[in-house]
Amino acid sequence: MDHKILQTARELIEEAGYPALTVDQVAVRAGVGKAAIYRRYASKAEMAFAATMHGQWPPPLTDAGSLYEDLLALARAFHVRMATPTARQVAPALISELAGNPDLDAQFQNTFLAAEHAALAEIIERAVGRGELAGPIDPTIAHLLLLGSLAAGLYIINLTVDDTMITELATAAAAGIAALADRHHSGNPQGATQPQ
């Protein structure tokens, strides 16, 4: 039943767009009761998010050989998934709903964002193991530098993001992560004032 609900939601979003999607439509076409949908998803946005993004991200990422190449592979995978017309409709609606729905926010944090965070933690750990980084940094910062910037470009600034921009973001993120690792592991006290 779960697969049928999500497949139907995807089809309806692709046919008519997210704004036209209703739980009633999904229930009728999927041949299930609305109650069955609401037992699984608290809202249209949560259902649409599950249908278009949840459980499919991030993909398994093999070691690409360097911090930059690992970040580039992750950013490209994010872009492929999150720059689709469907995702560009659903993600802003979901982000809007998160502010007023603590349960949905917790679910989003504990699934989608946690998976991204874990992928970046693994990339950082590999870079430390290769000797590319002086030591680990908080993956949250790496998340903001790479995927946070890319999400802002797609959903807030509404940019047309191409591979040139993705490679530049990966380059900037790799440099920033390396600089932070150097700063945190060079003997400078935590929170030391940055040079002006």
- What one-character-per-residue DSSP string does the chain give? -HHHHHHHHHHHHHHH-GGG--HHHHHHHHT--HHHHHHH-SSHHHHHHHHHTTTS-SPP----SSHHHHHHHHHHHHHHHHSSHHHHHHHHHHHHHHTT-HHHHHHHIIIIIHHHHHHHHHHHHHHHHHTSSSS---HHHHHIIIIIHHHHHHHTS-----HHHHHHHHHHHHHHHHHHHHHHTSSPPTTPPPP-
Q: Is there a cis peptide before residue 60, judged by omega within 30 degrees of 0?
A: no
Percent pLDDT > 70 in the chain is 92
Lowest-confidence region among 4-18, 84-98, 155-169 = 84-98
Give me the pLDDT at residue 150, please: 96
The CATH homologous superfamily to which domain 53-184 belongs is Tetracycline Repressor, domain 2 (1.10.357.10)
Rounded distance, CA 60 to CA 177, Å?
A: 22
The residue among 100 and 141 whose pLDDT is bigger is: 141
Instruction: Check if 2-43 and 53-184 are the same fold.
Output: no
Domain 2-43: state its class.
mainly alpha
pLDDT class of 12 with cuts at 50, 70, 90: very high
pLDDT over 80 (residue 55): no
Domain parsing of the chain, residue ranges: 2-43, 53-184
Res 84 pLDDT > 90: no
Query: pLDDT at residue 192 above 70?
Result: no
> Which has more confidence, 158 or 196?
158
How many Å separate Cα 29 from the centre of its chain? 29
What pLDDT score was predicted for residue 118? 92
* pLDDT tens profile 27-54: 999 999 999 999 998 888 888 888 887 6
